Each structure stands twice: as C-alpha cells, then as structure tokens.
Homo-oligomer: A and B are copies of this chain.
Amino acid sequence: MRILLTNDDGIYAPGLRALRAELLKLGTVTVVAPATEQSAAGHSVTLLTPLLVNEVYEDDATTFIGWAVEGRPADCVKLALLELLEEPPDVIISGMNAGSNAGINVLYSGTVAAAIEGAFYRHTAIAVSLEYDKKIFDFHTGAKYGRQVIEQILAHNPPPGSLFNVNIPVLELGPIRGVKVLPQNVSPYTEKFDRRVNPRGRTYFWTSPDFTCPDPHPDTDVTALIESYITVTPLQFDLTNHARMEEIKKWEWKTE
C-alpha cells in the first residue's frame, strides 16, 4: 500500500514522526508536509508566492522521508499528487495533529483541510488528531491507536473520495473506552482576545488560548472525546444547506 502522509504541524513535528513509524507497518510512506508549523491554516492555499520544496531524510542521511514544502497543508497535497509522487497514493493520511480537531475546529484545521484536498482529488483521506491535557502528548500510543483505526477504515474499501476525521482522546487521564462514530459538534465556542498597546501606542490583540465549547451537543465528537472515546466522523465538503434549499427557492428574486 502506498501512503501519502501530511500534516499541519510541519514535517518535523513529533506527531507526524510517530504516525509515520506506525504507518510503515502498513506499506510505503511518503511524506509531503509543510516546512513550518501551519496550525489553524484552514483550507488556505498559496497563490501569491512560490512553493519552495526540499527533500528530507532520516537522521542517517540516506533514508528518504519525503518533501518539506514552504506552503500550506492543502498545497502539500496538491503538489504531492500533481508533481512529487511517482505513483498515486492508495490513501492520504493527515496528522497526527497535536490537539484534537473536533467541533467547529474542523473548519479551522489545516490537518482536516489537507484530507479534504485529497478527497477533492477522489482519494480516500483520513485526518488523525490527538487531544492533549496540559500540553502533554503520548504521541507513541496515540499513533498506535491512529494506525489501528486507519486499518479498520481501509478494511472496508471505502469508495474513492471517502473522507474521515479521527480524534484520539487525552491518553494521560486513563484508558480509552473504545471507538464511536459520531457527527461533528456544531454548537458555538466562547473565546476572547487579550488587548494590548505596543510601545508606539498601537493597539494589538493576542488570541487567547481559552477557546472552549460550553454547551456541546450530546453524542458528538466533542462530547465523546471528553468521555475518553476515540471518535470517527465521516466528512464531506458540500457546504450547501440542502435542508433550506426548497424554502429559499420560493423566495421572490428580482434585479434592476
């Protein structure tokens, strides 16, 4: 099996290295990932600047890992499919991200966007993220679970363009309780900014790390992660609100 591995934390991130080690048990792995951290890059792509690439090797300087791209996660997937890979991959894996990508974070996530980009090209793509508590990550165990879930998804031969979002709960709080297939939570988050003034009198803001979902819907990715379940959410990229189409079609429209 040919696996394309990418992420948004950058090609040197420990989560990617841990997941790569596990994925090597399943087949050949080629990494095409951002040269630098691209957290919360969403589905941004690079139009205005060139995408520089560099070959990356293991510490032995001879084992080829893949390419570092000075661009966004979605750029990496495009470049891999159109230019860098000699043969198309059988599956695209994105991660393992340091921090979960659940709820509306799915839309901010560069990890998920890279998987969506793969699905644009009708590849099966799986995003894998690991939740944390106090910035402690057991990437090794998280990657083992990630690989097991990936294997079980692929065992069902999902049709081309299938897209999955896998989140692994905090592993330091006790044993995981199993795997749940659940929808993305869509309830609001609360957040705030830290307002400051620079020495020249100009106002600026820092995004606060307090980005929390006070009222998640039950039986969603967000709630199950809190309850120590691994979550699997099948995704799609049609943003049409089909439920409201018929009503809105009946509205009167005119232009002058």
Contact = CB atoms under 8 A, between A and B. Distances in A.
A163 to B, nearest CB: 7
Contacts of A52: 198, 202-204
- Report the copy number of this chain in the oligomer: 2
Range class of the A interface residue count = 35 or more
A104 B119 CA distance: 11
A58 interface: no
A145 B253 CA distance: 11
Contact of A242 (B51, B183, B251): B183
B235 A241 contact: yes
A48 B42 contact: no
A42 B113 contact: yes
Contacts of A186: 237-238
Interface in A195-232: 195-196, 198, 202-207, 230, 232
Contacts of A82: 191-193
